[in-house]
Chains A and B, each alone.
Chain A
Amino acid sequence: MAMLLQTQYLSIGDIKIKLWSKSDITLGVEIGFKSFVIHENIIDSFYDIEIIPSIPQELKNTDSLVFESNDGSQKLWNVCTIPNGYKIIAFDSYQSDTIQQIAFIYPNSKSWIIYTELDSDKTALPLSYPMGPLIMYYLTTVQNAIMIHSSGIVDGEKGRLFSGFSGVGKSTMAGIWQQNGNIAINDDRLMLTISDDKIFMHNTPMFYDDKPKMHQLNAIYLLKQTKEHTIRRLSDAEAISRLLAFCIQHSYDKTFLEHHLKMVFDIYNLIPIYELGFKLNSDVIDFIRSHE
């Protein structure tokens, strides 16, 4: 029986992950993941991800390619179908043609694999960008969870989420609440989970260190900038389609889409979703509190 030379346990939102390797390597995590590491094995139900050092050439093919992500000239990742799952090929963010990890994920299994190249000191960083966020995304597709571009604020006992298109003011809104003594769960991306008919918002590993935070979510606001503050509660298909538009999703697999639709539908049935037109000033706090 192989000896486990390295094991790391992570807890992100409601998702528990065990990273391990049979090989004589050091398993590392990037700075954003460090505070999500659990140092004792107190997890009884986790996703088991085996880390295998170096990437065999034969795995680098892109047969059955279903998706290519790139940012202009920079390749980010490819997704290929494989029997019972997907192969994700993640490229080095600084050297576009260099593959830094290949993951094999199986939605119906809790055992996944990541092949990764090593640093010169034999350290593996299997969740380095973009693989970390991708693994988190795929884990949400098999859990009662969804990721959304948003900021989350705790105002006393009340949790509010602000979402909208890039540049609309999600971070600014979080800043306004923070300046007024409230707590930000995160100002860019949140994981939402549902448990016992309650919705919880969690921060997830970013590119900087931050301790894990979570709070019950009580209302969602979809932002747009206007000359005067306005608020309108959304209903039915409009509420669901508009909220879904800001959720992080890959649409090449129908089961993912159905999962996201169900999650948003369940959220809609539990808490109000508002369209909030706002001016960038601190009286928006009083406006929101007085119009709920």
Chain B
Amino acid sequence: MNPLLQARGLEVYYGNFQALFGVDVTINEGETIAIIGANGAGKSSFLNSLSGLAPSRADHIYFEGRPVGGTSPFNMVKLGIGLVPEGRRLFPSLTVEENLLMGAHGRTVDRGWNLDTVYDLFPVLRERRHQMAPTLSGGQQQMVAIGRALMANPRILLCDEISLGLSPAIIRDVYAALAEIKKHDTTILIVEQDLTAALNAADRVYCLMEGRVTLEGAPASLSKDAIRRAYFGA
């Protein structure tokens, strides 16, 4: 297997506050990885440092074997690292289609994602392409956020809490779309509090607690007890 994105001893500080303490995570090409953990475990700090939004040292993050930590977010996406941010964060004064087109700014290669293929993945967005983003339902907004990240044609898609605030039926739809995206040779990293959704989708799971990795493995190999301990502490 070919490591695509790696964190090696990743530490993240916000001023004097340390959020991550030497996190090691390897994401191989084509895998779907889930990062689970309680609120405040450091999941978002981890994702933000991978996408460049949180500061990190160059030799703490590797992309295709090259140190890329601390690269600005607008260059991270051009490397092929796309982010679906927590809370969706659509541009409220732009239409659905304009939101998607903003995503194309980070595009450096064509891996098959464009307006047409994104609309094929989420047909409801084609109907609503000229609506302003805030007028959509939560699930539709999440689809725009995923589609917007896809428009950059990323090698790896980082998804932060994409099930947050959505109904179970919608969560199923969103994860079905992720499975579809994976078929496009796209590596996926999901950060989730919804354990069931995460364990069903992932090839491997990492559990974070208080800024450290406490558990790692394939979902089938992990007992519920082990997960509970890794999640909440002993």
The answer to whether A and B interact is no
